[in-house]
């Protein structure tokens, strides 16, 4: 059986007048990591809620784990694990009791349940805290317990809705490590994030969601290729040197305050030499040369409509 882990077609959802999802098509192959990337309010959580059977879609259909979302929702539920954006742990009982609760709901035998709970508590570094109420856990610990609970039923498809939002850098890296281990075990991961770095680090495929539509989809490399944004950056300390360089390099974008010049280009050896040759001819020397390749930030801002952040040169214009 080689059906995709998730296949969605034309998902639409609106609340009253407000259209949250406006025709979403997705295919996630088994064993891969798919990242849904988008700003707040783009509809990421709504996609997760629909695909995890929490809410129904208004239009369109989807199959998760080979089962139809609308007609075989219990079969879908048996195949998935979900860690929502807000921690889905029972704060009134201890971490261990939370794990045993999950074991009971997955109908494991008492012995099997204890074994799985102990194993996961150990794996997620929660043994010491196991006997404490989950409400006393830190954000990172709660998130780890949350994922540990999701794993009790050994799901083959896991939804992670903003798994690292609100975590400190160390916890974030721990979470990334956890996700990589899951994937190594053959699990399909569907994650949402507003962090471009996270999508870049983890995902095989990335879809950029904006205003309820998929603005672009592809691997991180493919997305980066979609937009130009590479440039060579020259920084000067002496204003007169800077001015001579600016005159020599006509195509450069000037930033007079920071004394830097940006020359569009892909950062190839030949381009770099050409720029340096021009500087040499004008008899000036840059204090710092750096090559900037487009990253997902560039893609993100280029794709998600009117840029929230004006480009540097524009902002300088308005300041002046």
Partner 1 sequence: MSGLSLALRDSNTMLRRNLLHARRYPSLTLNLLLTPIMLLLLFVYIFGDVMSAGIGGGADRSDYIAYLVPGLLLMTIGSTTIGTAVSVSTDMSEGIIARFRTMAIHRGSVLIGHVVGSVLQSVLSVVLVGAVAVAIGFRSTDATALEWLAAFGLLVLFALALTWIAVGMGLVSPNAEAASNNALPLILLPLLSSAFVPVDGMPGWFQPIAEYQPFTPAIETLRGLLLGSHIGHNAWLAIAWCLGLAALGHLWSASTFNRDPK
Residues that bind partner 1 (CB under 8 A): 52-56, 74-75, 77-78, 80, 82, 84, 86-93, 97, 101, 104-107, 133, 149-150, 153
Residue 242 CB, shortest distance to partner 1, in Å, is 55
Residue 211 CB, shortest distance to partner 1, in Å, is 20
Residue 260 CB, shortest distance to partner 1, in Å, is 47
Phi, psi of 34 (to 5 degrees): -115, 130
**Identity of the residue, 102 or 286, whose beta carbon is nearer to partner 1 in the bound complex:** 102
Q: Coil, strand, or helix at residue 142?
A: helix
Residue among 151, 162, 148 at smallest CA distance from 94: 148
Q: How do beta strands 253-255 and 260-264 pair?
A: antiparallel
Asked whether the beta carbons of 244 and 238 are under 8 A apart, the reply is no
Angle at 304 between CA 311 and CA 268, to 5 degrees: 55
**Identity of the residue, 89 or 234, whose beta carbon is nearer to partner 1 in the bound complex:** 89
**Identity of the residue, 19 or 101, whose beta carbon is nearer to partner 1 in the bound complex:** 101
**Identity of the residue, 20 or 275, whose beta carbon is nearer to partner 1 in the bound complex:** 20
Residue 48 CB, shortest distance to partner 1, in Å, is 10
Task: List strands edge to edge, sheet with 80-83.
Answer: 80-83, 157-161, 188-193, 33-37, 205-210, 213-218
The secondary structure element, H or E, covering residue 318 is helix 312-319
Residue 74 CB, shortest distance to partner 1, in Å, is 5
**Identity of the residue, 58 or 256, whose beta carbon is nearer to partner 1 in the bound complex:** 58
């Amino acid at each position: 059986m080689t059906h995709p882990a998730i296949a969605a077609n034309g998902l639409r959802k609106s609340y009253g007048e407000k259209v949250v999802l406006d025709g979403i098509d997705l295919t996630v192959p088994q064993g891969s990591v798919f990242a849904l990337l988008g700003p707040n309010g783009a509809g990421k959580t709504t996609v997760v809620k629909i695909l995890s059977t929490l809410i129904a879609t208004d239009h369109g259909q989807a199959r998760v784990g080979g089962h139809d979302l609308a007609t075989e929702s219990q079969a879908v539920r048996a195949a998935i694990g979900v860690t929502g954006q807000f921690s889905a742990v029972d704060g009134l009982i201890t971490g261990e009791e939370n794990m045993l609760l999950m074991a009971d709901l997955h109908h494991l035998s008492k012995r099997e349940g204890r074994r799985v709970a102990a194993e996961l508590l150990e794996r997620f570094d929660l043994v010491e805290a196991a006997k404490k109420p989950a409400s006393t856990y830190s954000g990172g610990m709660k998130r780890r317990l949350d994922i540990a609970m999701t794993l009790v039923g050994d799901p083959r498809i896991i939804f992670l809705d903003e798994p690292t939002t609100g975590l400190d850098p160390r916890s974030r890296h721990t979470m990334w490590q956890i996700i990589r281990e899951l994937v190594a075990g053959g699990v399909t991961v569907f994650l949402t994030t507003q962090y471009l770095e996270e999508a870049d680090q983890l995902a095989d495929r990335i879809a950029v969601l904006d205003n309820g539509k998929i603005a672009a989809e592809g691997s991180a490399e493919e997305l980066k290729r979609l937009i130009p944004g590479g440039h060579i950056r020259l920084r000067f300390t002496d204003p007169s040197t800077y001015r001579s360089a600016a005159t020599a390099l006509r195509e450069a974008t000037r930033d007079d305050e920071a004394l830097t010049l940006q020359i569009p280009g892909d950062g190839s050896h030949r381009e770099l030499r050409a720029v340096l040759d021009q500087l040499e001819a004008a008899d000036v020397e840059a204090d710092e040369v750096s090559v900037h390749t487009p990253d997902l930030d560039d893609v993100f801002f280029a794709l998600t409509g009117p840029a929230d952040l004006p480009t540097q040169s524009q902002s300088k214009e308005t300041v002046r």
